[in-house]
């Protein structure tokens, strides 16, 4: 579904991403891992068409993504960095505006709020929401138009353990029941380990390793955290 080929991105002459190659297969969950500053958010912005590559190509369902042509956004649900809402409006009203902008039906708003645990917020303005509630609403907004691809940058940030587990189950069900594809980053490596089919480890602006979780478990029985730190420290895994 997503093919990133030899992508370079520079800001003010500084190369943030270099010769980046990344492949996300349809109907799977891909976990993008990396330390702060490795380039994860920049990669997500490029895939979402929010930034243009300095060089290289990014394809979504075979079509090259271009910032001038936003038609592909209807097929993407995006959560990158701190979500922004109309703070004086309710969760429902925020989703209504989003769906109107996307040119989509608003019939499934109740379900979107239900699956993220916000069904009982009523007319409460978003300004009164906790950080975790705003994060839930951001996830609801990302899935509300039933996209083919979800791009989620630290989606469980601010959630308590129950919320994290609930979102984990939601992401798995979206792939299984709605055939969505998910590209996700998280500093909580155990969460990626629970849900990902494949992971890519981003080091200094390029993918140092792209590997299936089954291979990770085979080569590193201790788990994804040990696998990740081995790569970050310059080691090699099979």
Give residue-wise pLDDT tens across range 85-107: 999 999 999 999 999 988 888 77
CA 219 to chain centre: 26
Instruction: Give the pLDDT confidence of 46-57 residue by residue, as tens digits.
Output: 999 889 999 999
Separation of alpha carbons 62 and 229, rounded Å: 34
Ramachandran region, residue 26 (left: φ > 0; alpha: ψ -120 to 50; beta: rest):
beta
Q: Is the dihedral of CA 173, 179, 180, 182 positive or negative?
A: positive
- Give pLDDT, residue 195: 95
Asked: is 2-82+148-232 a CATH 3.40.50.300 domain? The reply is yes
Q: What per-residue string of b and e applies to 74-110 under the rule 16 or more CB within 10 Å gives b? A: eebbbbbeebebeeebbbbbbbeebbeeeeeebebbe
Q: What is the pLDDT of residue 37?
A: 85
Q: What percent of the chain has pLDDT over 70?
A: 97
Domain boundaries, the chain: 2-82+148-232
Give the β-pairing of 29-33 and 181-185.
parallel
pTM of the model as a whole: 0.92
Backbone phi, psi, residue 199, to 5°: -130, 150
pLDDT score recorded for residue 237: 45
Residues of the chain falling short of pLDDT 70: 67-70, 235-238
| 63-64 and 55-60 strand pairing | antiparallel
- Lookup: tokens for 235: 């080691």
8: helix, strand or coil = strand
**Residue 69 pLDDT:** 62
- DSSP string for 137-154: HHHHHHHTT--SEEEEES
**Looking at residue 9, what is its pLDDT?**
96
pLDDT given at position 68: 59
């Amino acid at each position: 579904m997503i093919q990133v080929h030899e992508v370079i991105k520079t800001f003010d002459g500084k190369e943030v991403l270099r010769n980046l190659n990344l492949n996300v297969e349809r109907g799977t969950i891909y976990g993008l891992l990396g330390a702060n500053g490795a380039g994860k958010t920049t990669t997500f912005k490029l895939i979402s068409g929010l930034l243009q590559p300095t060089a290289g190509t990014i394809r979504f369902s075979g079509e090259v993504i271009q910032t001038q042509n936003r038609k592909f956004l209807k097929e993407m649900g995006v959560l990158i960095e701190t979500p922004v809402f109309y703070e004086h409006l309710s969760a429902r009203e925020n989703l209504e505006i989003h769906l109107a902008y996307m040119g989509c039906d608003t019939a499934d708003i109740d379900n979107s709020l239900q699956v993220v645990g916000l069904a009982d917020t009523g007319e409460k303005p978003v300004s009164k929401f906790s950080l975790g509630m705003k994060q839930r609403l951001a996830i609801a907004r990302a899935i509300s138009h039933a996209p083919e691809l979800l791009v989620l940058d630290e989606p469980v940030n601010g959630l308590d353990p129950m919320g994290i587990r609930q979102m984990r189950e939601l992401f798995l069900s979206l792939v299984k029941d709605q055939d969505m594809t998910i590209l996700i980053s998280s500093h909580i490596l155990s969460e990626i380990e629970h849900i990902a089919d494949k992971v890519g480890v981003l080091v200094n602006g390029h993918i140092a390793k792209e590997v299936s979780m089954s291979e990770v478990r085979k080569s590193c029985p201790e788990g994804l955290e040990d696998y990740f730190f081995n790569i970050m420290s310059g080691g090699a895994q099979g």
